């Protein structure tokens, strides 16, 4: 079988079944361990390292508000997994690297397109969605 056909079949199979469960509690623990140093425990951008960064960490509680009321799934996944790197990090975010790699999972963007990511990122998304104001 051709590689593109195999990939297409794998993606179709992943998307046609139920979406992988997201665990907001796991996401909260991941955030506290890997993200709170910069973004703060309340995810409001006031972590202890915020003052040392070239660009202040975002207030993650306002992601939906700054996106017309829709949680920006595609943008958040791209920031976390490094597809959309930030200068302030000095490297792709997260600087914890391999922790967020592997354990492949599929989610959908706010527009319904499939996005390949990892299980820890799905858990972070679930938790971030619960803290939107």
Q: Are 59 and 42 in contact (CB under 8 A)?
A: no
Residue 119 has pLDDT above 50, yes or no: yes
Looking at the domain assignment, is residue 105 inside a domain?
A: yes
Cα 120 to Cα 112: distance, rounded to the nearest angstrom: 20
Element (H, E) at 107: strand 104-108
Looking at the domain assignment, is residue 86 inside a domain?
A: yes
DSSP 8-state code for residue 64: T
pTM, two decimal places: 0.79
Q: Number of folded domains in the chain?
A: 1
Where residue 55 falls among pLDDT bands split at 50, 70, 90? confident
Element (H, E) at 29: helix 24-34
Mind listing the pLDDT tens digit for each residue in 68-103?
999 999 999 988 888 887 766 555 565 666 778 778
Residue 46 has pLDDT above 80, yes or no: yes
Looking at the domain assignment, is residue 13 inside a domain?
A: no
Looking at the domain assignment, is residue 11 inside a domain?
A: no
DSSP 8-state code for residue 10: H
Looking at the domain assignment, is residue 65 inside a domain?
A: yes
Cβ burial 81-120 (10 Å sphere, 16+ → b, else e): bbeeebeebeebbbeeeeebeeeebbbebeeeeebebbbb
Looking at the domain assignment, is residue 6 inside a domain?
A: no
Where residue 54 falls among pLDDT bands split at 50, 70, 90? confident
Looking at the domain assignment, is residue 35 inside a domain?
A: yes
CATH number at residue 45: 1.10.760
CA distances (Å), 53 to each of 30, 39, 46, 76, 90, in order?
A: 21, 11, 11, 19, 9
Cα 7 to Cα 12: distance, rounded to the nearest angstrom: 8
Mind listing the pLDDT tens digit for each residue in 17-31?
444 568 999 999 999
Q: Which domain holds residue 120?
A: 22-130
Looking at the domain assignment, is residue 12 inside a domain?
A: no
């Amino acid at each position: 079988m051709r590689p593109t056909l195999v990939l297409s079949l794998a993606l179709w199979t992943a998307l046609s079944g139920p979406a992988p469960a997201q665990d907001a509690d796991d996401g909260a623990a991941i955030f506290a361990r890997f993200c709170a140093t910069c973004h703060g425990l309340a995810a409001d951008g006031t972590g202890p390292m915020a003052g040392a960064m070239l660009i202040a960490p975002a207030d993650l509680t306002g992601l939906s508000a700054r996106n017309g009321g829709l949680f920006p799934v595609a943008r958040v996944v791209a920031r976390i997994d490094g597809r959309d790197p930030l200068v302030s990090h000095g490297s792709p975010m997260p600087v914890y690297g391999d922790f967020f790699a592997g354990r492949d999972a599929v989610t959908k963007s706010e527009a319904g397109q499939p996005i390949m990511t990892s299980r820890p990122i799905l858990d972070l998304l679930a938790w971030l969605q619960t803290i939107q104001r």
